[in-house]
């Protein structure tokens, strides 16, 4: 199919139009608003059959999604920043009830001080909530991830809610050329929604979300732990199917020019794209560097990461969020992933881009150079005026 | 429920059987049990009206006993009894 120009949010709305979910319940919040705004136009124009609920808050939006999904409906929503934070309580209900809700998060900083621009604090705050989390680099990936998410979340081995993340403004509001798939191809890729149990199935009455006491709660949490372990193979097999229809091949964690590299920088989201440019420039200068794009954050691909950095001398982990009192959120997980490897590379952390602070190419070059010259602290704050 | 293992339980705490609450004997929670002095009881049935767990057994218009499978021992019956016929006794063992 021919390439068209859309911003990230419009591309997400288009993906929903093609999937035609049964229910979308949402509350608009910058920089996600264009998604639900565009999609509500599709609803108003009769281009989809979706029941669209404009909720009075994000807490309500997610609660409506939970009810819809429990009744056996394919359900999607979108949010960002404070909206995701306001959903926090019900995120756990969605995952605890094992409902395959698909949600797009347009990554934005959390207040305060109030800020509407990109960082990953919102999604990182939900990392323990039992949701699958996938990050995209650009408009194409945001669109592709949105489609794949339905297949992953709804897979019968998993049945878990899934978040696909795109960088606020940088991807949500930037016009990019991308290649959507034809409607019928999307339809057959996603397939009809299936459920195991539905609250509306009066012939097989069930109770969902009952009080779970000391005698069973732990077992139900353990079920989620086990189900999360089954996610990676499903993400991989869905990506394989997706490659067949799109020609675009996605991995949960993607290396760039790592084969003979000594040093690498890892990032999630749009920064992974800038990193590739920097790798090309430094390679032209004869430096043996590469980069790593982390796509799947939950479940965290510990084994895959450990294998990928084998033989490297140094790796910098870029975190567009900070756990105040610790370090960036990816860093400790990456370090933990390498702990058992005696030949592990030096691993350092760069917290960057908070509140939408631009990450400039020369800053990334500086990170590579610090790695190469064995400089830099364990945790560094890139681009901040100290 | 056939199994209590995480690998065999319905996911997410779902209850897949209708009416299973009948098997849930909330009388297990009780630390005190009501006892009635039959000589003082006037069969006014105020205990029956107040009991939040439907645990006063009434037959032919008369209070005949307590349904201890579901009596949680809250003591409302003893508290409300106008004849002071009901007293709460510690469960032993």
Domain extent, residue A361, equals: 253-382
CA-based nearest residue to A145, from A157, A163, A127: A163
Do residues A176 and A128 both lie within one domain?
yes
Does A343 touch chain B if contact means CB atoms closer than 8 Å? no
Q: Over the stretch B12-36, which tens digit does the pLDDT of each residue have?
A: 999 998 888 888 899 999 999 999 9
The pLDDT of residue A201: 93
Give the phi and the psi of residue A194 in degrees, each rounded to 5. Answer: -120, 150
Residues from chain B that touch A222, judged by Cβ atoms under 8 A, are 6
**Is the backbone peptide bond immediately before A98 cis, with ω within 30 degrees of 0?**
no
Residues A320, A220, single domain; the answer is no
Closest CA in chain B for residue A212: B13
Model pTM?
0.93
Q: CB of A267 within 8 A of CB of A294?
A: yes
Residues A239 and A270 in one domain: no
Question: Using CB atoms, which residue from B4, B7, B14 is nearest to A206?
Answer: B14
CATH code of the domain covering residue A119: 3.40.50.970
Q: Searching chain A, which residue's CA lies closest to the CA of residue B14?
A: A208
**pLDDT tens digit at each of 386 positions of chain A:** 799 999 999 999 999 999 999 999 999 999 999 999 999 999 999 999 999 999 999 999 999 999 999 999 999 999 999 999 999 999 999 999 999 999 999 999 999 999 999 999 999 999 999 999 999 999 999 999 999 999 999 999 999 999 999 999 999 999 999 999 999 999 999 999 999 899 999 999 999 999 998 999 999 999 999 999 999 999 999 999 999 999 999 999 999 999 999 999 999 999 999 999 999 999 999 999 999 999 999 999 999 999 999 999 999 999 999 999 999 999 999 999 999 999 999 999 999 999 999 999 999 999 999 999 999 999 999 999 99
**Are residues A225 and A99 part of one domain?**
yes
State whether A128 and A163 are in the same domain: yes
Asked whether residue A232 falls in the same domain as residue A264, the answer is no
Last residue of a domain, one of A199, A216, A245: A245
Are residues A269 and A236 both part of a single domain?
no
B81 min Cα distance to partner chain A (Å): 33
Domain topology for B25-90: Alpha-Beta Plaits (3.30.70)
Write out chain A residues lying below 8 Å of B13, CB-based. Answer: 96-97, 208-210, 212, 216-217, 220
**CB-CB under 8 Å, B14 with A207:** yes
What ipTM was estimated for this complex? 0.84
- Say how many Å lie between the first and final Cα of chain B, rounded: 27
Contacts of A205 in chain B (CB under 8 A): 18
The domain boundary residue, chosen from A226, A245, A264: A245
Q: Which of residues 28-67 of A touch B (CB under 8 A)?
A: none
Query: What's the mean per-residue pLDDT of chain B?
Result: 94
Residue A42 shares a structural domain with residue A120 = yes
8 Å CB contact of A226 and B7: yes
Q: Please indicate, yes or no, whether residues A100 and A222 belong to a single structural domain of this protein.
A: yes
Q: Which of A137, A131, A151 is nearest to A107 (CA)?
A: A137
Q: Where are the domains of chain B?
A: 25-90
Cβ within 8 Å of B, A 146-165: 159
Q: Domain check: are A68 and A194 in the same one?
A: yes
| Residue at a domain's end among A245, A264, A288 | A245
Structural domain count of chain A = 2
Q: Do the Cβ atoms of B6 and A212 come within 8 Å?
A: no
List Cα–Cα distances, A152 to A88, A157, A158, A196, in angstroms: 22, 9, 8, 15
| B12 part of contact set with chain A, CB < 8 Å | yes
Contacts of B12 in chain A (CB under 8 A): 96-99, 208-209, 220, 223
**DSSP symbols for A125-150:** HTTTSS-EEEE-SSHHHHHHHHHHHH
Would you state the pLDDT for residue B20? Answer: 87
| A54-86 pLDDT tens trace | 999 999 999 999 999 999 999 999 999 999 999
* Residues A190 and A273 both lie in one domain: no
Q: Are residues A342 and A221 in the same domain?
A: no
pLDDT along chain B (93 residues), means of 10: 86 90 90 96 97 96 96 97 97 79
Task: List, for residues A299-314, the tens digit of each pLDDT value.
Answer: 999 999 999 999 999 9
């Amino acid at each position: 199919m021919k390439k068209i120009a859309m911003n990230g949010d419009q591309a997400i709305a288009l993906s929903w139009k093609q999937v035609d979910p049964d229910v979308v319940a949402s509350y608009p919040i910058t920089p996600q608003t264009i998604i639900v705004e565009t999609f509500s136009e599709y609803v108003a124009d009769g281009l989809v059959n979706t029941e669209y609920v404009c909720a009075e808050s994000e807490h309500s939006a997610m609660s409506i999604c939970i009810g819809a999904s429990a009744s056996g409906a394919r359900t999607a929503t979108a949010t960002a920043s404070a909206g995701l934070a306001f959903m926090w309580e019900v995120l756990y209900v969605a995952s605890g009830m094992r409902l395959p809700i698909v949600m797009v998060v347009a990554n934005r900083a959390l207040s305060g001080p109030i800020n509407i621009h990109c960082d990953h604090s919102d999604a990182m705050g939900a990392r323990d909530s039992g949701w699958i989390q996938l990050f995209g680099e650009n408009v194409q990936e945001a669109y592709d991830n949105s489609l794949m998410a339905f297949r992953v979340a709804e897979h019968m081995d998993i049945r878990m809610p899934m978040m696909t993340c795109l960088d606020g403004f940088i991807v949500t509001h930037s016009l990019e050329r991308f290649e959507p798939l034809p409607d019928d191809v999307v339809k057959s890729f996603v397939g009809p929604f299936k459920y195991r149990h539905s609250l509306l199935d009066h012939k097989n009455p069930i109770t969902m979300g009952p009080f779970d006491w000391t005698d069973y709660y732990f077992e139900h949490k353990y079920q989620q732990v086990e189900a999360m372990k089954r996610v990676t193979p499903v993400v991989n097999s869905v990506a394989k199917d997706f490659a067949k229809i799109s020609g675009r091949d996605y991995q949960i964690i993607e290396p760039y020019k790592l084969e003979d590299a000594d040093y690498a920088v890892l990032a999630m989201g749009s920064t992974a794209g800038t990193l590739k440019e920097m790798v090309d420039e430094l390679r032209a200068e004869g430096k043996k560097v590469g980069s790593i794009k982390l796509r799947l954050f939950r479940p965290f691909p510990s084994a895959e990461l450990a294998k990928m950095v084998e033989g490297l001398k140094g790796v910098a982990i870029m975190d567009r969020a900070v756990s105040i009192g610790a370090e960036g959120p990816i860093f400790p997980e990456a370090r933990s992933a390498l702990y058992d490897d005696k030949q592990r590379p030096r691993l350092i952390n760069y917290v960057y881009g908070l509140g939408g602070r631009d990450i400039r190419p020369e800053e990334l070059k500086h990170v590579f150079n610090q790695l190469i010259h064995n400089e830099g602290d364990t945790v560094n704050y890139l681009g901040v005026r100290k | 429920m056939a199994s209590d293992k995480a690998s065999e339980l319905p996911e997410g705490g779902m209850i897949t059987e209708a009416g299973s609450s009948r098997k849930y004997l909330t009388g297990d929670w009780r630390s005190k049990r009501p006892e009635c002095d039959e000589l003082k009881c006037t069969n006014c049935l105020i205990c029956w009206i107040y009991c939040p767990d439907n645990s006063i057994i009434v037959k032919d218009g008369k209070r005949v006993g307590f349904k201890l499978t579901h009596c949680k021992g809250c003591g409302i019956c003893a508290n409300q009894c106008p004849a002071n016929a009901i007293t709460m006794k510690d469960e032993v063992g």
